[in-house]
Structure 1
Amino acid sequence: MTVSVSRIAVAGGVALSSVVLLSGTAFAHVSVQPQGEAAKGGYATVNIKVPNERDNASTVKLEVNFPLDHPLASVMPQPVPGWKAEVTKSKLTKPLELHGKKINEAVSKVTWTADGSKIGPGQFQQFPLSLGQLPEDTDELVLKAIQTYDNKEVVRWIEEEKEGADEPQNPAPVLKLSAASADHHGGGSGTAPTATATASADAKGGHDDTAADHKETASASSATTDTTARVLGVVGILVGIAGVAFGVLAGRRRSTSA
């Protein structure tokens, strides 16, 4: 019995340590996370999240590459204390059309270099970026990253995931793009939904008017109930005052009779 319990304990310990190790590896990747929505054809703010994987070294440099087959005309890094950002642009074989203008170059790389700060063991750092205009002809952007430590070790997060295959050891950060919104080009969407809602209400035989009538009836009923409660409250107070007065008068009469 003792042997069995020992074996179970050992097996449980091994399983737990394996889970912890695997979890640590899974969450240690360089990744890109949008703040809100990253819709096709629109603009977005994203965070490049960089965890430190080493116990004996600190991250001092990060390079993020942008695909030129789905180019971005605008990539602006937000200042990060203790880090210096450098934006690199490259010529495009096919110019971009943006707001009626032709753009012959796009951002191909952003590099952050430690300038008084580091990402130490057990720490992570986020590097915010403003991106736009996001492409409309793809569902994702693969942002290959290169992480450099102060002991000269370089980790290349450049492996693309393949459908049906296991996750690669050093997967590239991937920004998933959501469906384009109706007003991502600056077009007004307020008029169309209002007209649609009105037509729908008319087709249902004035459903909106009926709803309004119900609201008015409920409001009137509520007001009536509130008024009744107030009246009953006042009546109760008056009855109480009358009772006190009657008691005082009865006491005086008894005193006089005595």
Structure 2
Amino acid sequence: MSDRKTASAGRRQTYVLDFADGGPLRLDLPVPEGPANLLEMLPTIRLAADVVFARGAGAATREGRTISCGPGCGICCNQLVPVSREEGLALARLVHALPEPRRREVTDRFRHTVAALEDAGLLARLVRDFSSHIHEHGVLPRLQRDYWALGLPCPFLESGSCSVHTVRPVICRQYSVTSDPALCARPFEPGVRLGEVRQPMDMAGALAAFDGARARATLALPLTLCLLLEKTNGAKPLPKVPGPEMLSRFLELASRFSDR
């Protein structure tokens, strides 16, 4: 199910974000009226992210830069992709809801990736470091480099494109480049610099630091471990907050997260 269909049941609310570059940005979004948890709010947050990130892409275009990303260019989908706790839960539930035999195919890709990480000695490091060390200087870059070296595509990647594109995580929506696509296959080589599009705010970072009611210490996990860590990840109940209030709180928090 797409985000637009899922979110359409909500009442439309208008929010205005004030940016130094480009002026105010109006968000007209369907928002659940009654109490909701963050999982239930994800479709609306992803729609908000699309509007915000379109502002970043537009700024790049006005500067004469062309977005290099598009269908079939899924090289970046071999990267280590951190997602928020709630996005990890949503992805796990999406996999469980797939019809057979597709569910088995996608589940087997996740299992293959976990087995490859374990064989390489990286699985335990990922679980440990994302649990308690991810904010320490240099930890995430080292994990990203070691993960990339294994050449493990996202389990949702099919024929170079995202098979769950309409409900992909916020961080995937946030990431795009204007540099030569050939460079995307060499991100860690000396001298290689990717022309990443800087967005007005780091909404992926804000989402990982938000529980639906208030700010929290960042809770993230590698996308490829969302099935493995589903039980642990979903053990704590999520607070319920009226939809319009939750979105206001999230956008206020996100305004403090710069992607520049």
Alignment TM class, shorter chain as reference: under 0.3
More helix by share: 2
Largest Rg, 1 or 2: 1
Tell me the TM-score normalised to structure 1 length: 0.22
